[in-house]
Amino acid sequence: MAQPGRVSRRTTLCLGAAVSCLPLFHIRTAGAAGRLSVGFWDHWVPGANAVMQRLVDRWAAANKVDVRVDFITSVGSKNLLTIAAEAEARTGHDIQAFPTWEVQDHAEHLAPMDDVVGRLVSAHGRMAPLIDYLAKVDGSYRAVPAISGSQYKPACARIDIFRDHAGMDLQAVFPAAAEMGPGYDSWTWEAFLKAAGQCFKAGAPFGLPMGQTSDAVDWVGALFNGFGAELVNAAGDVTVRSDAVRQVLDYAKRLMPLLPPDVYSWDDASNNRALISGKSALIFNPPSAWAVAVRDNPTVGAQCWTHPPPAGPKGRFTPFLPYFWGVWNFSANQEAAKDLIEFLSQRAQAEALCTASHGYDIPAFAGMLDFPVWAEEGPPKGTLYNYPVRPQHHAAASIAAWPAPPDLAVQIYNQATMTKMIARVAQSGETIERTIAWAEAELSGFRR
């Protein structure tokens, strides 16, 4: 067991120097090891799994490794159940696709990936700082940001409704071009509030969920971050009693009456349905809602335009939910597993995956944003151009509860503390101060 391990460690060092001769090497190293079982995320976009399977097969054939791929859905949190069970039992797949927070949760069972991440960054450009926040534990990367499944949640809005009722030409302000248009800088949460009011009056309110699922938490997280409202700071102190938090709650109090009254019970599919049915002028979502609109309600689909979320006093934040590929440290074939991950993260494979998912997938590396898929998808052509965070957006990829220490942040995120605060203020009519006191008690319970 130790022998092939040592050999392949040496060979991976060589690999760093000569990525181009990748396939040649693997015939000797990984081929000796034989078997690999992989649990990838079951992609929502039809056809994306098949491309992934083809890529894996190609690697498997070149390296004479017997690879078995299971596509595990996130529906019903099935992937979380499987990951938790595998971590407990110390058995299961060699590679798993870990949703956003899961790398932190299972870091002690994950093999370090610093070598792979280092080579990928030097070849494909830097990653969003958020990746370090989510995947680096005790100074070492425990997983590689995955192409498949990683998503942004920018705004997806109706061109016609915004033009007719909010006096805003989305395609002019957020053109599919290297520069943002005139008026981009005034696209703030205040402007957003005004537009929300106008669209509400026009009978097409914004579809912003305020339940406890991830679509709700993500956009609210971007709102909090934009106001600089931290529930827990980076040092782990509860800092919810702040003017920034009061500001954001006050803002929410003004915004919520302009939304459909039932948003408190919306789930991740409700906002999609609101957009697809044509009843809503704006949602925060990856392109899946638009794609279904194109299929089921083409007139609506052709009027959708994806663009960055508004900015707050403390900056502009786009919700980012990356997936990660990690290797269990109880896997019997870690070197081959790492090789496969590195292979899939190369430019050609990444582009194949992004294209197969019609632009849904987001590579974490800055050098990969020039894939043509986002400029070409339509109708309307270029609607996804601003789906990935681009330099001209002056936006940061962010996640709710950042920058709290991840073991606290994961609880704030999954227990939806922020949306519950807004619901308390706006739905139950509690005072802002009492809501903050409630949140303080809640947050102190997360630190155990």
Partner 1 sequence: MSSRPSLRSERRWALWGSYAALALFAVFFLTPPVYMLITSLKTSAEIGGQAGSPWVVRHPTLQNYLDLIGNPHFRVFFFNSLKVTLCVVAVSMAISVLAAFSLARMKFWGSGVLAAGVFLTYLVPDSLLFIPLFQIIGKLGLTNNVWCLVLLFPTLAVPFCTWIMIGYFASIPKELDEAALIDGASWMQLLFRIFIPVALPGIIAATIFAFTISWGTLLYPLAYLYSSDQMVLTVGILTELIRGDVFEWGRIMAGSLLAAMPPVLIYVFLMDYYIAGLTAGATKG
Partner 2 sequence: MEERRVAETLRAAGAVAASSAPWSRMSPRGGGLRRFARRRSSVAVLLCLPLLALIGGLVLYPALYAVWLAMLNKHMTRFVGLGNFLFLLHRPAFQAVILQSVIFAVSAVVFKALIGFLLAHLLHAVPGRSQRVWRGLLLLPWVIPLAMSTLGWWWLFDPSYSAFNWVLNVFGVPSVPGLGATWWARFSVILVNVWYGAPFFMIMYLAALKSVPEQLYEAAAIDGAGAWARLRYITLPMMRNILSITILFSLIVTFANFDIVRILTAGGPQDQTHIFATYAFVAGIQSGDIPLGAAISLFMLPILALGAVFVLRGITRRSAEQAG
Q: Which residues bind to partner 2, rule: CB under 8 A? A: 76-77, 80-81, 84, 88, 101-102, 104-106, 108, 211-213, 260-267, 270, 273-274, 277, 279, 407, 410-411, 414-416, 420, 423-424, 427-428, 441-442, 445, 448
CB of 16 to partner 2, least distance (A): 32
Considering CB distances under 5 to 8 angstroms, the limit depending on partner class, which of partner 2, partner 1, none binds residue 361?
none
User: Which residues from 61-120 bind partner 1, rule CB under 8 A?
Assistant: 70-76, 78, 81-82, 84-86, 88-92
Measured from the CB atom, the residue of 117 and 340 that comes closer to partner 1 is: 340
**Closest to 313 in 3D by CA, of 399, 373, 230, 229:** 229
Residue closer to partner 1 (CB basis): 41 or 101: 41
CA atoms within 13 A on the CB side of 223: 27
Q: Determine the Cα–Cα distance for residues 396 and 398; give it in Å rounded to an integer.
A: 6
Q: Which string of DSSP letters, residue by residue, matches 163-180?
A: HHHS---HHHHS-SSSS-
- Looking at 167-175, 294-302, 335-343, 345-353, which segment touches partner 1 (CB under 8 A)? 294-302
Ranges within 264-283 binding partner 1 (CB under 8 A): 268-269, 271-273, 276-277, 279
Q: How many CA atoms lie within 13 A of 394 on its CB side?
A: 15
* Cβ atoms of 226 and 315 closer than 8 Å: yes
**Nearest distance from residue 369's CB to partner 2, in Å?**
31
Tell me if 290 sits within 8 A of 45, measured CB to CB: no
Smallest gap, in angstroms, from Cβ of residue 76 to partner 2?
A: 8
What residue type is assigned to position 384 of the chain?
A: L
Q: Name which of partner 1, partner 2, none residue 11 binds, using a CB cut-off of 5 to 8 Å depending on partner kind.
A: none
Which lies closer to partner 1 via its Cβ, residue 297 or residue 427? 297
Give the whole-angstrom CA distance, residue 333 versus residue 92.
Answer: 12
CB of 70 to partner 1, least distance (A): 5
How many C-beta atoms lie closer than 10 Å to residue 150's C-beta?
25
Instruction: Give 158's strand partners.
Output: 304
Peptide bond into 403 cis (omega under 30): yes
CA distance linking residue 303 with residue 400, whole number of Å:
29
- Distance in angstroms (rounded) separating the CA atoms of residues 308 and 386: 7
CB of 266 to partner 2, least distance (A): 6
Select 192 or 266, whichever has its Cβ closest to partner 1.
Answer: 266
Q: How many helices (H) does the chain have, and how many strands (E)?
A: 21, 14
Question: CB under 5 to 8 A by kind: which of partner 1, partner 2, none does 46 bind?
Answer: partner 1
* Cα→Cα distances 152→128, 156, 162, Å: 12, 11, 22
Answer with the entry of partner 2, partner 1, none that 42 interacts with (C-beta below 5 to 8 A by kind). partner 1
Tell me how far, at minimum, the Cβ of 240 lies from partner 1, in Å: 29
CB 155 within 8 A of CB 309: yes
Residue 407 interface partner, choices partner 2, partner 1, none, CB cut-off 5-8 Å depending on type = partner 2
CB of 89 to partner 1, least distance (A): 4
Catalog residues that contact partner 1 under the rule CB under 8 A: 39, 42, 44-46, 70-76, 78, 81-82, 84-86, 88-92, 215, 268-269, 271-273, 276-277, 279, 285, 288-289, 292-293, 295-297
